[in-house]
Amino acid sequence: MSSLVRVSHLSKRFGSFQAVRDVSFEVQAGQVYGFLGQNGAGKSTTLRMLMTLIRPSSGSIEVFGMDLLRHRRAILRQIGAVIEKPDHYGYLSAYENLRMAAVLCGIRPTRKKLMEQLDFVGLADRYKSPVKTFSQGMKQRLGIATALVHEPSLIILDEPTNGLDPQGIADIRELIRRLSREQGKTLIVSSHLLSEIELIADSLLILHQGEKRMEGALRDLLNPAETVAEFELSNRALTDSVFASIDFIASVDWRSEQQCCVRLPKNEIPEIVRRLTEAGVRIQSVASRHSLEYYFLQLTQTESHASAVVD
């Protein structure tokens, strides 16, 4: 596989605010690449830099093996994007918006072709309606149609499921799957919900406070063999001494005097429960999460804890 997108040491500063700090990643052809992070983590800023909407303060972006800023037009001809929410001209119809997008890309598709594309996103029967009469989900789908109108090989979708109802979310998910599997497109999709990314992405990058926190193939990150067990129990000192004697524990993280998270192989949970019980530790509850969810939750909770302090 070859790298379609190669981002190195990308940073963006707005005045004194560092929005993105030294972020590097690569996207391989044919992948669905997930961008995960809370609101304000720097996802949109990074994607905007990829679309040349924002100039990086430092770092470089290569797309299709070319420098983005130097070969902007040639590269953008091959990228389709919906950044943040899709916005159209409300007083124009879906068809007209789509045709406008095509002209902006320098192409003149036939009516048949445009109707096919509207059909692909399920809007063929509403092609004449002004976009201002559309629901959020329909606008999102039209946004995807306009991003696809010039048949790009790389598609960037920024929070495509934001503000959609469950059916809308399912529709978009299905669209992304079809683009990837049936059409072999490369996609970069961002979301603040791990559950979303989990369902569609092959690879994942977690951004937090403008920095890259984690990157890798989803199947590695979601290693089924490893888990994080969350215990609620009685005696911290005793528990620590038990943990110290167990060699399959990868890490222990005390959240409070009664709460701790233990990273360990999934099949060892009964063993650790047995050892703790034997040592006389009272276990009130135990829950198992996969490690990525645990990690992301940790980021999120640190954040909400911090904001609670500010409040």
CB of 13 to another protein, least distance (A): 11
Nearer to another protein, 48 or 185 (CB): 48
Residues in 8-67 that interact with another protein by CB under 8 A: 14, 48, 51-55
Nearer to another protein, 73 or 128 (CB): 73
Cβ 117 vs Cβ 98: under 8 Å:
yes
- The stretch among 96-104, 177-185, 195-203, 289-297 that binds another protein (CB under 8 A) is 96-104
Binding mask 140-179 for another protein (x = CB under 8 A): ------x---------------------------------
CA distance 201 to 190: 10
4 lines the binding site for another protein (CB under 8 A): no
CA angle 149, 153, 155 (to 5 degrees): 70
Among 15, 70, 108, 224, binds another protein (CB under 8 A): 108
CA angle 100, 102, 108 (to 5 degrees): 110
113 lines the binding site for another protein (CB under 8 A): no
- The stretch among 58-66, 68-76, 186-194, 271-279 that binds another protein (CB under 8 A) is 68-76
- The stretch among 102-110, 118-126, 195-203, 229-237 that binds another protein (CB under 8 A) is 102-110
- The stretch among 80-88, 159-167, 237-245, 247-255 that binds another protein (CB under 8 A) is 80-88
65 Cβ partners below 8 Å, 6+ apart? none
CA distance 300 to 234: 26
CA distance 144 to 101: 11
Please state whether beta strands 17-28 and 211-217 pair in parallel, antiparallel, or not at all (unpaired).
Answer: unpaired
Nearer to another protein, 19 or 272 (CB): 19
- The residues of the shown chain that bind another protein, judged by CB under 8 A, are 14, 48, 51-55, 72-74, 76-77, 79, 81, 83-92, 100-101, 103-106, 108, 146
